[in-house]
Chain A
Amino acid sequence: MAALVTMLDLTLGPLTCDNFVIYRSGLRWLVSDGHVCRAGEPIAFCNIGLRSSDGKIRSTAPFPGEQTDLQLTLAAPMPGTLHQLPDASRGGWLDQLDRYQHWSERFVPGSLDITAGADNRSRWQLIFSAGERMTELAEDRSGRLTGWRRIRRAWHGERSDHGTLVSLGTCEQNGIFLGEQHDFSELLAASPGSLHVIHVGDENLVPAAGVLADRMRRNVATNALLAADMTQAVLGGPVTPGPADWHYAGSALSALTRCPLSERYDLLTRQGLSPPVAINAVVLSVNAEPKVVLRHRKLGYRAYWHRFRVDTTGQAIRNWLNVSFEPLSRTIDDIQTDLRELRKLLAERGVKHVLIMNALSTSGGESIFTYAPFSQALGDELPSVRAKELNLMLHDLAEETDIAIVDVDSIAAGLGAAAHLPDGVHQSGPMQDEVRGEILHILEQREFFAPARAQTIS
């Protein structure tokens, strides 16, 4: 006998913010009419704005630098078949700019056909996302968290008891955190508690431990010195900077003088606007620790950019890097010292959990029968030996300080590195799922999710 089906109208539900009126755009559907939704599946999104009563967004409004792209995703609260209502989406700019509609908690953008008697909630689940653009010129309204951004972040919107997790690493962390749709949906869906996640890419500065520590130690005065020196060096060099130089210089200066671990992060949820949140956990990667970083000859700060990024910029930037910096070779012990110092700085900022992803320590491409051709210390010459030494260093570090190792090496071995981690850094989707699950498991074990929020998010 077929199960009885009932149609359930789902409202937007309440969303308020003291002293501000919440505006929104029309909805952009992520799935088609008639789509069979999973519980928690994102089905539509809109832009929202927190405006004063006169309709303006003041400079003192929450989400500084993020107001233009504050987005809200509706997710299915239970499984069911979607029926889109025709006036939920208005198309064009009316679905991209927040200023055309007020938030109305009773508005029904769509309904779900659900099995009669199933757990039926009356409103859509909310997931928020935000991210400061690298520059306002990088406007890209094609989707969620699209365009070039300094930072991308997202959070569950039903409750306000979030743990805040920051991802700072190389490109291997992009897929683990952002997921296949680049919107954090897999991570948020798999999280056992309320989560606020922040991801910082490495394109404008690679967050090696020493680079990050120097960034955390700089203040307004030292940042001003750095900026003045960089300006003089780039403009005073033998080559007139071209467009690629200016783009690179702007993003590098932004990354060198601002630290994602020291920024203000506002959150809006069903429970209103939260005070700026503290960072509870940071995920780093040992793949962000190159053998050589750059050290500024005059000011002493450390920096590192991927070679392929520098290769595509202009000669003025390459000249700046060649003249103003010197290569700083680092032993495994040096890297351990940098990570220890960084852990200390993070603890002083109240970061309770530091997770470090280890490296793939074997290479299927190698067939070493003799080490006779290698005269130096093997780790200096052979990446697979260096990876083993880095992984061992992490274990030594974990014995003396409070870090957790995300054993990417073991996950790759279990899944098959040739198929899932062919170049040692770029992972397959299934491997990203496994590493993501391992990170959440470690956080749960370490009680990152407070007891009140260690429940299924629904």
Chain B
Amino acid sequence: MLLELSLPLINPHMAHARVDSILVRPDKKIAVGQAILELTVDLSDQFPHDCPPVSYYRLCASEAAWLRHLAIAAGDKVAVGALVATFSKTSDEAVENCDRRALRTTVVGVTRQWQPW
């Protein structure tokens, strides 16, 4: 069974998210609750905004799986619904011609640490 991770629609007004960091590595197992990606959603990239509604999110697994393929890199701007990564239930199962479903995930808003300018 392949498990696909696509960029979820976190906010109905968003079209994209920026991948800030990738917290998993190919061919490694992820545990329940493990963080996969950190994302920035900036709604002002859809329309000019004096007070940009920027939110930060962490995408975590809510089931154990093996990361088989990453389709994105840190810094990418990814569209909602675009494939982000492919996982499998076991480390050695074939990745072609098999059943697929969405990876079960948790999306959570996070705060970022203070950064100087």
Contact = CB atoms under 8 A, between A and B. Distances in A.
Interface of A: 170-171, 291-292, 306, 308, 310-311, 318, 321-322, 327, 329, 363-374, 380-384, 386, 418, 422-423, 425-426
Contact of A369 (B35, B50, B58, B106): B106
A291 B111 contact: yes
Interface of B: 10-13, 32-35, 43, 50-55, 57-58, 60, 62, 104-111, 114, 116-117
A423 B62 contact: no
A171 B62 CA distance: 36
B12 A369 contact: no
Interface of B is mostly: loop
Contact of B110 (A292, A308, A383): A383
29 contacts: A291-B111, A308-B51, A308-B52, A327-B114, A327-B116, A365-B10, A365-B11, A365-B57, A366-B108, A367-B105, A367-B106, A367-B108, A368-B107, A370-B32, A370-B60, A372-B32, A373-B34, A373-B35, A373-B58, A373-B106, A373-B108, A380-B111, A381-B110, A381-B111, A382-B110, A383-B111, A422-B11, A422-B53, A423-B13
A33 B12 CA distance: 42
Given A366-B108, A381-B110, A383-B111, 7 more contacts: A308-B54, A322-B116, A365-B107, A373-B34, A383-B109, A418-B12, A423-B53
B16 to A, nearest CB: 14
B117 A329 contact: no
Nearest to B31: A372
Contact of B53 (A327, A371, A425): A425
A318 B117 CA distance: 6
A321 B111 CA distance: 21
Contacts of B11: 364-365, 422-423
A11 B96 CA distance: 84
A40 to B, nearest CB: 30
Contact of B13 (A370, A373, A422): A422
Interface centre among B55, B60, B104 (most CB of A within 10 A): B60
Contacts of A383: 55, 109-111
Contacts of B116: 321-322, 327
Contacts of B52: 308
B51 A373 contact: no
A373 to B, nearest CB: 5
Contacts of A363: 109
Contacts of B108: 366-368, 373-374, 382
